[in-house]
Chain A
Amino acid sequence: MKFFLKIFIFILPLSEAYAEGQKSAGLPQMDISTFPSQLFWLIITFTALYLFMWKFVIPRLSTTIEERKDKISNDINDAENLNSEASKILENYDDKMNSASLESNEIVSSSKATMNEYLDKLKKDNEIKINAMITESEKKIHQQKQQSEQEIKKATIDTIKSIVSKYVETVPSDDEISKKLN
């Protein structure tokens, strides 16, 4: 509080001094005698600045800025072109990959089919062969069986003949024996 009071006590006479100073001096802004000089030099300096800006600064700055704009838009165009090229190449690559995988799938499936065909054919051939062999061997077995049956019959007749001949004078014929056997 005391601090602010001190400041205030200092300020009070000072502000009175300003007021006094102002009264005696008057505003320099209102001194008409300086107006022609101010206006004259303002016209000279501002005209110089205007000409400098108009003829020197603005053409140069605007061309620089335009050049930069052009450069940036050119660079952006180039980048876009390169980008589209790259995406085209990627598309191409994808297409090729797709067609290659399709082709390989085809190859795989076709080779599978041929393999199956071959296997089927092999199976069939073998079946036919086996069947033929079975029928043949069945035939052989049948023949063998008949033959052996006849041989057994013959041997039986012979055996009976030889047994009978030992006991009886008259030996029966083969037909009679076979009739009796059946």
Chain B
Amino acid sequence: MAADNPIDPIHQFEISKIAEMQIAGIDISFTNSSLFMVFAIAATMTLFILGLSKRSIIPNRMQMLSELSYNFIANMLRDQVGDQGRAYFPFIFSLFMFIFFCNFIGLIPYTFTVTSHLVVTFAFAGLIFLAVTIIGFMKNGLGYLRIFYPSGIPIFLAPLIVPIEIISYLSKPISLSVRLCANMLAGHSILKIFAGFIVMLGFLGFAPLIFLVVLYALETLIAALQAYIFTILTCIYLNDALHPDH
């Protein structure tokens, strides 16, 4: 029943195979999720290829757009991490553009939202967590363990503070991935539910339609905001790894 249900809000998150593929018995089929990942990077590449095709001192619209996104992320990284963050700029920039376009493409009806799947967001969050931990130990040695014991805390509080800090550190990738995934999942489900109401209510459907328009605007905001939050939190974690004393 679920698959045929035209207003099943979960249906949009289902993964369907487009081309079957296997490597060593592991199913790595090209699915609709893969297709929309390709769409997201294609959209990003299109933006920058168009933006960079005619580089000039006075930019045209596409160049302006690509420079705005560049400056936005570069300023974010500089404010949060400082000049040491320059080496990680390509990753942060790619991360933001990828999540941004995945979120936005997912807002188009009948599309698939790549970032609504926890495994995708957790892959990013886990990668960031591992990278940040490795960078932290590489730059500070064992001194990186200081992040579990903030300066200025009396020694008798250490048995209480240190486990809390360790738990909060380990929960970072979970909160980071669940935040993005849950926002996308919930937002798109609600949109689908209200879109279903329009069909079901017939001519009375204008009431949920108005609500849907408002909700859609909100979801557009959330799509941009969650990409921003994911990126800025990555910057903050990176800053913790580079400057554990702060």
Contacts and interface: CB of A to CB of B under 8 A. Distances in A.
A27 B182 CA distance: 12
Contact of B52 (A18, A48, A57): A57
B153 interface: no
A2 to B, nearest CB: 12
A38 B33 contact: yes
B246 interface: no
A17 B97 CA distance: 37
B150 interface: no
B28 A41 contact: yes
Interface residues on B, range: 35 or more
A7 B205 CA distance: 9
Q: At the interface, is chain B mostly helix, strand, loop or mixed?
A: helix
B165 interface: no
A25 interface: yes
Contact of B118 (A18, A29, A46): A29
A75 to B, nearest CB: 10
Interface stretch (A60-68, A87-95, A119-127, A137-145): A60-68
Contact of A25 (B3, B55, B120, B123): B3
Contact of B28 (A24, A40, A56): A40
A130 interface: no
Given A28-B13, A53-B94, A6 B204 contact: yes
Contact of A61 (B37, B40, B70, B119): B70
B44 interface: yes
B97 to A, nearest CB: 7
Contact of A53 (B3, B40, B90): B90
Interface string B53-65: 0010101000100
Interface string A21-58: 11011011101011111111110011011101110111
A18 B9 contact: yes
A54 B91 CA distance: 8
Contacts of A71: 57
A46 B8 contact: no
Interface in B1-49: 1-3, 5, 7-11, 13-15, 21, 23, 26-31, 33-34, 37-38, 40-41, 44-45, 48
Nearest to B55: A64
A53 B38 CA distance: 15
A29 B23 CA distance: 22
Contacts of A65: 67, 70-71
Interface of A: 3, 6-7, 10-11, 14, 17-18, 20-22, 24-25, 27-29, 31, 33-42, 45-46, 48-50, 52-54, 56-58, 60-62, 64-65, 67-68, 71
6 contacts: A38-B31, A41-B31, A53-B44, A53-B93, A54-B94, A57-B93
Given A25-B11, A61-B67, 16 more contacts: A11-B197, A17-B5, A22-B10, A28-B13, A29-B117, A35-B119, A38-B123, A41-B37, A42-B120, A45-B98, A52-B94, A53-B97, A57-B48, A58-B89, A61-B52, A64-B67
